[in-house]
Each structure stands twice: as C-alpha cells, then as structure tokens.
Amino acid sequence: MSLSGSPRYLIIRRDNIGDLVCTTPFIASLRARHPDAYIAALVNSYNRAILDGNTDVDEVFAYTKAKHRDAGQTFLGVMAARIRMFVHLRRTRIDVAILAAPGFQARSLRLARLAGARQVLGFVDREGQGAIELAVPVTEIRELHEVEAVFQLGAPLGIKGEPPLLQVVPDRELRARMENSIRLHFAARGGPVIGLHISARKPSQRWPAERFVLLAKMLSLEYGARILLFWSPGAGGNALHPGDDEKANEIIEACGKECLLAIPTTHLADLIASMSACDMVVCADGGAMHIAAALQKPIVCMFGDSSPSRWHPWSTPYELLQPDSRNVLDLDVELVKKSVLKLMNLNGLGTP
C-alpha cells in the first residue's frame, strides 16, 4: 500500500499496560519507514503514560474507560470528553487507522470509524472478513510473541525485518528524585538495586507475601542488595481498582526499613521512573514486567497460567520460572533466589 505526501496514521491500542508496551517496536518501525508521517495513538487513560516522551508519536489521544474514572468524574463527564476527543480526531483527517492488537478488534474498529479514518488496517478472522480495508489474516500470528504478532501489521505499510527494542521513556526529574531517595534511604550501602513487584492480575501469578519477605531478607543480608518494593496501589476489595496495599504493608512490617524502600506508585509515570533506577527486577508476568523489559533491566519473571512464548520479556536478559502446575505458589524461595543470583553474576551486579 502506498500513500502520497505525508500520510496520517492513528494507532489504536486500548488494552492493558503491557500490551501497549509491546506495540512500541511497531510504532518505532512505522516512524523509521515513514519519517515525515503524522503518527497519533488512541489509547486509554490507564496506559497513556507508556507513550510519554516517545518521540515517534506526534500526538496521543486518551479516553477514560468508565471503570477507570476517578472519584470526581461522572459518567456523563467522561462521555462528553470522549465526544470532544473524537471531534478533534475527525479534524485531523486520518488516512489509516491501525488496530494494533492481535485478533479481530471489533471495538477498536468502531473507534476507527468514529475517528473518520479513510482506511483501517488490522487482523481479521472469520468474524472480521470484509469488515476492514487492509486485512492481515490472524493465522499468521498464532505462534508468535506479542511484539512479533503486532509487527506483522507492518507488511502492508512496507515495514520489514526484525522488531526493534521496546521503548518506554522515564521522566528525568522523577528518575533523579528516585535515585536521591535510594541514596538517602540506604546511606553507605552500595549493593545492587533490586526491584520486587509483588502484584499480579491473575491469581495463578500471585506469589505469597511471606516468600517475598524471605527473598528480600536473603538478598539484603547476604549480598547487600538494596530492595525497592513495588505494588499496585489500592485496597484489595476495591471493585474498580483492586490493589495490594495490605500485602505491601505486611512485607514492609516484616522486613523493616533497613531491608527495603517502599515505593507507592500512584501514577504509572512513577513506576516507570522508579524501575529505571533499578539494576534488576523480580516480578510476575504483567505490565510491570514489560516496563522493566523496555527499560532493558534483567528480569526474574514468574509465570503462572500464561504463555511464555507469547509474553516473555522482549530483548532483555531474563530468567523465566513456570512450574508444571502453572501456579506460582509452587515456586519456592530458593529457586527464585538462585535465578536472581544467576542474573546478578551474568550482568556484573555482584559475585555471589
């Protein structure tokens, strides 16, 4: 497909944080292939910070899902803001809207039509046959990593080769504040900074608090590691935004301030900046893992009932642990510690 002049693209990715992170190699390649194009992204307010500072994107349009609205936002207010956004989008005169997610995306297609795109590019299956102008068969992506799967959409646009690295840009000021906090908290200690992210969306990927406590103490006492504790903020019983405040408090009380520094990341930008200050990260499969991969951090990742071939960390050193039961409850502390020490050794973070 060829477009005259400077084409105007709209990339639509309305899913979770990790999904949008895994789309950044495609965005980078689209910019490299069409340096003079206008490239916009349509995302949701929950994952929007992933594209902050990304110079491959000219403009980001973010809408708030009803379930993600703040306490001060009304449903009608959210809908009114969405209407204003689509009025703006239609005025940009989009040439091609790209439904940048594997599988036929019926809801994203509706958004593309509301945005007034002249053509739509996306994956189709039996349900989507004939629904969009530039169709890529779903059968071509079934065995691929999420990054590789999304990258297949580049073929009609002249994009070839291997996907580049993930891209997430930490805020410089927030990163500097985090580094200063680490220096002040741990004083003279100079061991590796290891981030522990304790939250996971799937129950099969939730490692117990007491095991995080044991791991943190071992790494701190035996190897001088400076532990940063990350979690999804909020109460576990919150129906709209369930979090792990209770689990985090249990770990903080058991470990003590000498062992770790708790990092409450109310905003996604805080998590990105704080993780950028880590030397390595231990976490479950999820959005935080993909952020760490985009920051090129070595990762020990625990997989429960999810596909390693589809979701493993992209283009960064990692140790992936998945028991036969596909439940991380069957991963013991010694096994995770062994994987941490292996990555420390391989990446020059200390000699166990």
Residue 352 has what pLDDT? 40
Residue 77 has what pLDDT? 73
Residue 143 has what pLDDT? 80
Asked if residue 275 lies in contact with residue 287, where contact means CB atoms within 8 angstroms, the answer is no
Beta bridge partners of 42: 12, 61
Residue 65 has what pLDDT? 67
Per-residue buried b or exposed e for 15-54, using 16+ beta carbons within 10 Å of the residue's own CB: bebbbbbbbbbbbbbbbeebeebbbbbbbbbbbbbbbeeb
Strand order in the sheet with 226-230: 260-262, 226-230, 193-197, 280-284, 299-302, 318-321
Residue 314 has what pLDDT? 97
Distance, CA of 252 to CA of 229 (rounded, Å)? 8
- Structure-token pair, residue 261: 């520094």
What is the DSSP annotation of 176-202? HHHHHHHHHHHTT--S-EEEEE---SS
Distance, CA of 29 to CA of 25 (rounded, Å)? 6
CA 204, 347, 260, 17 torsion-angle sign? negative
Beta bridge partners of 196: 229, 282
pLDDT in tens, the chain (352 residues): 555 568 999 999 988 999 999 999 999 999 999 999 999 999 998 899 999 999 999 999 998 765 555 656 677 777 788 888 889 999 999 999 999 998 889 999 999 999 999 999 999 987 777 889 999 988 767 789 999 999 999 999 999 999 999 999 999 999 999 999 999 999 878 899 999 999 999 999 999 999 999 999 999 999 999 999 999 998 766 655 678 999 999 999 999 989 999 999 989 999 999 999 999 999 999 999 999 999 999 999 999 999 999 999 999 999 999 999 999 999 999 999 999 999 999 988 864 4
Structural domains present in the chain: 8-157 (3.40.50.2000), 172-346 (3.40.50.2000)
Segments in the chain forming alpha helices (H)? 17-21, 24-33, 75-91, 106-114, 146-151, 172-186, 209-223, 245-255, 268-276, 287-294, 308-311, 333-346
pTM as predicted: 0.93
Residue 134 to residues 95, 105, 128, 131, 154: CA-CA distances in angstroms?
12, 13, 11, 9, 11
Residue 330 to residues 96, 104, 107, 204, 316: CA-CA distances in angstroms?
47, 35, 38, 10, 25
Residue 240 has what pLDDT? 54
Nearest to 51, CA basis, from 78, 97, 17, 84? 17
Segments in 92-135 forming alpha helices (H)? 106-114
Distance, CA of 115 to CA of 11 (rounded, Å)? 11
Q: Which residue has the tokens 């005259």?
A: 4
- Three-class SS of residue 118? coil
